[in-house]
């Protein structure tokens, strides 16, 4: 199993704080059947993680895991919060795409989708990049107005749902929306977004068991194969996106 979203690099953001934390996370991941992790430290107003520093940290963690006998590989990635100059920074070689592929994470603020998002995601695609919107199921505007996400996906953006969201660890509302995104073909990857082994753990095994029981084994293959295709910079599997129909509220008099 491949986990394409994880905060396993030590001391760079709100994930692992020490190399010992990173090793502990890697051991837990291996127990769940994860053999490859893309390290995706935050790039936002609080954490300034640029490409070169990320690559150096990834090398250090891989060396530590090898010395500890942990059979797991870390690949470089990044989780940029959406901002207007991201293309300029990509051209300056400061944006780390996922394992050097054409796929790049984009994080929205938790409570809205910036007005310029559609144009920026389009401009990224013009540059030959494929934006992957992370954890859309935890964005309050998208929960209330899922057509906003539909329009972005219909125009070529991809999305990644968090395993813990699907399993209910962020609450019932987010769990239901996660399920709706799968049903409507509005998500293409399942990943952990793990930050530690306590309250933000991997939950990948649990999520895939749930997907198999609720949606069928074909969805398990789709999500696992898409992660493989992503790290190899291949075209991923995409089904035709559908709009999420808001349930009507009935008034009784």
In the chain, what are the domain boundaries?
2-231
Are 61 and 8 a contacting pair, CB within 8 Å? yes
Helix (H, G, I), strand (E, B) or coil at 158: strand
The tens-digit pLDDT sequence of the chain (253 residues) is 999 999 999 999 999 999 999 999 999 999 999 999 999 999 999 999 999 999 999 999 999 999 999 999 999 999 999 999 999 999 999 999 999 999 999 999 999 999 999 999 999 999 999 999 999 999 999 999 999 999 999 999 999 999 999 999 999 999 999 999 999 999 999 999 999 999 999 999 999 999 999 999 999 999 999 999 999 999 999 999 999 986 655 455 4
Beta bridge pairs of residue 48: 43
What is the C-alpha to C-alpha distance for residues 102 and 232, in angstroms, rounded to an integer? 10
Cα distance between residue 138 and residue 127, in whole Å: 28
Instruction: Identify the pLDDT of residue 14.
Output: 98
Which fold does the domain 2-231 belong to in CATH? TIM Barrel (3.20.20)
Q: State the Cα–Cα distance between residues 68 and 13, nearest whole angstrom.
A: 23
Contact (Cβ atoms closer than 8 angstroms) between residue 159 and residue 136: yes
pTM over 0.85: yes
């Amino acid at each position: 199993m491949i986990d394409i979203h994880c905060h396993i690099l030590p001391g760079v953001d709100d994930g692992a704080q020490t190399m010992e934390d990173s090793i502990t996370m890697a051991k837990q991941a291996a127990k769940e059947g994860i053999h490859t992790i893309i390290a995706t430290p935050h790039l936002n107003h609080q954490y300034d993680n640029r490409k070169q520093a990320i690559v150096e940290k990834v090398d250090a963690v891989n060396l530590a895991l090898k010395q500890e006998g942990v059979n797991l590989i870390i690949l470089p990635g990044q989780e940029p919060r959406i901002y207007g100059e991201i293309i300029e920074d990509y051209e300056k070689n400061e944006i780390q795409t996922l394992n050097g592929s054409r796929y790049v994470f984009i994080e929205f603020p938790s409570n809205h989708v910036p007005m310029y998002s559609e144009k920026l995601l389009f401009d990224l695609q013009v540059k030959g990049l494929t934006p992957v919107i992370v954890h859309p199921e935890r964005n309050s505007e998208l929960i209330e107005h899922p057509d906003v996400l539909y329009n972005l996906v219909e125009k070529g953006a991809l999305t990644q749902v968090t395993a813990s969201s699907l399993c209910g660890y962020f609450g019932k509302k987010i769990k239901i929306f996660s399920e709706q995104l799968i049903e409507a073909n509005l998500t293409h990857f399942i990943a952990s977004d793990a930050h530690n082994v306590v309250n933000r753990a991997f939950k990948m095994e649990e999520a895939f068991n749930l997907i198999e029981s609720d949606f069928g084994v074909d969805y398990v293959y789709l999500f696992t194969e898409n992660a493989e295709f992503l790290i190899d910079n291949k075209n991923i599997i995409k089904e035709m996106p559908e709009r999420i129909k808001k349930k009507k509220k009935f008034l009784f008099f």
